[in-house]
């Protein structure tokens, strides 16, 4: 898979180089007439005029034109009953930087670009933030509806589950899949996205989450009634799955995961949804987080089902408060998660927040978790404060 990916990336960059060459040749042809006109003029000296420093600077500056920069920085603190001294822990949770450039014109009028996302995490051993490159990939729009990307790309099953809550931190904002089932939110591979009139299809092939194998993941996101004149236009449905092919040296069987989420979402006002999933995979993948599984399910596959109920709402926007009211910036969120099967896990979270501005948010709340004995994890309650700065 890695060799195939390297070949795909090489083709991407070869196309980029050819495109740049074509654009350069076109620009030179357009300037040809102007050069012929200059030849008719008389000069007192045959010495050509040197290129000025401002011209060089302008050419260098043009390389950075058209790039869009966005991202966020997240700070937080939590107080957990796991700590005997009940000391609060402050942390720098995440820093993300996205660089995007459109209009590279790889394929005539269609766009292309690059995306880089950097994140941070708190390393428990070194007791300090560690940085890593989360996503890095070029993308090319093959047609108006089809986009191809390759590199370290997002996995399609994780993104839809975040429901715009990721910034609230691991205990609140991350998906059930990567938080509790420990699936990766990125893969080294290639992805193809196809836009539909009522949604999109996103498929990836790359490194798997289990046993260093390879996996195929895909999801269909639909808003079938978006042209409706009533509340049905806010309905959405996501259906997806993963098939992980075990590496040859591994003894465990191939792994699968299937999920479906449906609900209603009016962006910036409310989001209400429910999700169900079922998964099958080796216990070794989860043994680090759930040490009890090594005792009860050593060298075995485990099966689990899960569901989630999630709601986030700006109550004063819903009831139609005055547009000038600061209360319209207040939101509340509640979530219930449950995993059943070979191990059990339940979590309830509630949080309230305030949008200080379009770029600054603050949230405060709690997450209470309990797990079955065969996980080896004790019950836990966390009080959480999170601050996000967007740019």
What residues does each domain of the chain span? Answer: 2-22+66-390
CB 309 within 8 A of CB 336: yes
Degrees, nearest 5: CA angle 295-80-292: 5
Beta bridge partners of 188: 152
- Average pLDDT value for residue range 32-54: 46
pLDDT higher than threshold 70 for residue 2: no
pLDDT higher than threshold 90 for residue 52: no
pLDDT higher than threshold 50 for residue 46: no
Beta bridge partners of 146: 194
Task: Find the helix or strand (DSSP H, E) in which 233 lies.
Answer: none
Longest dimension (CA), the chain: 93
Task: Find the helix or strand (DSSP H, E) in which 296 lies.
Answer: helix 292-296
**In the prediction, which pLDDT does 81 show?**
72
Does this model's pTM top 0.85? My answer is: no
Highest mean pLDDT, choosing among 31-35, 141-145, 161-165, 336-340: 336-340
Both tokens of residue 216? Answer: 């195929």
CB 101 within 8 A of CB 67: yes
pLDDT higher than threshold 80 for residue 130: no
Strands 255-266 and 270-282, bridge-based pairing: antiparallel
Task: Find the helix or strand (DSSP H, E) in which 57 lies.
Answer: helix 53-62
- Average pLDDT value for residue range 150-171: 74
d(CA 200, CA 193): 7
For the domain made up of 2-22+66-390, the CATH class stated in words is: mainly beta
- Percent of the chain, pLDDT > 70? 71
Beta bridge partners of 348: 336, 368
| DSSP secondary structure letter of residue 238 | E
- Which residue has better confidence, 180 or 119? 180
- Average pLDDT value for residue range 327-344: 94
C-alpha torsion 316→317→320→326, nearest 10: 60
Give one word for 178, left, alpha or beta, with left for phi > 0 and alpha for psi -120 to 50: alpha
29 Cβ contact partners less than 8 Å away, ≥ 6 residues apart:
none
SS3 for 78?
A: strand
**In the prediction, which pLDDT does 251 show?**
60
- Average pLDDT value for residue range 165-192: 83
**In the prediction, which pLDDT does 88 show?**
67
- Give me the residue label for tokens 């689990």: 304
Please report which confidence band the pLDDT of residue 129 belongs to, taking 50, 70 and 90 as the band edges: low
Of 23-32, 173-182, 276-285, 378-387, least confident by mean pLDDT is: 23-32
Residues 216-229 have pLDDT tens digits of 999 999 999 988 88
Neighbours of 148 (CB within 10 A): 18
Please report which confidence band the pLDDT of residue 24 belongs to, taking 50, 70 and 90 as the band edges: very low
Residues 225-243 have pLDDT tens digits of 988 888 899 999 999 999 9
Task: Find the helix or strand (DSSP H, E) in which 14 lies.
Answer: helix 2-39
**In the prediction, which pLDDT does 334 show?**
94
CB 331 within 8 A of CB 353: yes
């Amino acid at each position: 898979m890695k060799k195939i990916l390297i070949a795909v990336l090489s083709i991407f960059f070869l196309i980029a180089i050819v495109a740049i060459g074509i654009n350069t040749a076109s620009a030179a042809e357009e300037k040809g007439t102007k050069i012929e006109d200059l030849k008719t003029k008389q000069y007192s000296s045959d010495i050509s005029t040197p290129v000025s420093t401002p011209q060089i600077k302008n050419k260098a500056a043009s390389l950075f034109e058209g790039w869009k920069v966005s991202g966020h920085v997240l700070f937080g603190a939590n107080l957990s009953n796991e700590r005997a001294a009940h000391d609060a822990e402050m942390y720098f949770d995440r820093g993300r930087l996205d660089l995007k450039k459109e209009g590279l014109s790889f394929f005539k009028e269609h766009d292309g670009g690059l995306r880089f996302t950097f994140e941070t995490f708190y390393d428990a051993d070194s007791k300090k933030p560690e940085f890593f490159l989360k996503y890095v990939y070029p993308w090319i729009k093959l047609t108006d509806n089809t986009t191809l990307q390759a590199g370290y790309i997002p996995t399609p099953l994780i993104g839809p589950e975040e429901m715009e809550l990721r910034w609230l931190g691991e205990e609140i904002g991350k998906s059930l899949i990567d938080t509790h089932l420990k699936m990766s939110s990125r893969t080294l591979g290639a992805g193809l996205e196809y836009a539909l009139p009522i949604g999109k299809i996103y498929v990836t092939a790359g490194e798997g989450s289990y046993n260093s194998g390879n996996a195929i993941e895909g999801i269909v996101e639909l808003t079938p009634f978006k042209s409706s004149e009533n509340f049905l236009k806010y309905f959405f449905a996501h259906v997806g799955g993963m098939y992980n092919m075990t590496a040859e040296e591994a003894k465990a069987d191939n792994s699968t995961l299937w999920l479906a989420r449906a609900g209603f979402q009016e962006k910036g006002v409310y989001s209400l949804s429910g999700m169900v999933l079922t998964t099958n995979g080796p216990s070794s993948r989860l043994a680090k987080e759930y040490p009890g599984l090594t005792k009860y399910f050593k060298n075995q596959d485990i099966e689990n089902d899960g569901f989630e109920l999630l709601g986030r709402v700006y109550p004063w926007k819903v009831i139609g408060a005055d547009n000038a009211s600061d209360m319209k910036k207040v939101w509340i969120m509640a979530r219930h998660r449950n995993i059943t099967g070979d191990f059990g896990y339940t979590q309830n979270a509630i949080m309230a927040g305030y949008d200080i501005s379009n770029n600054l948010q603050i949230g405060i709340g709690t997450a209470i978790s309990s797990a079955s004995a065969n996980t080896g994890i004790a019950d836990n309650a966390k009080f959480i404060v999170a601050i996000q700065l967007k740019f």
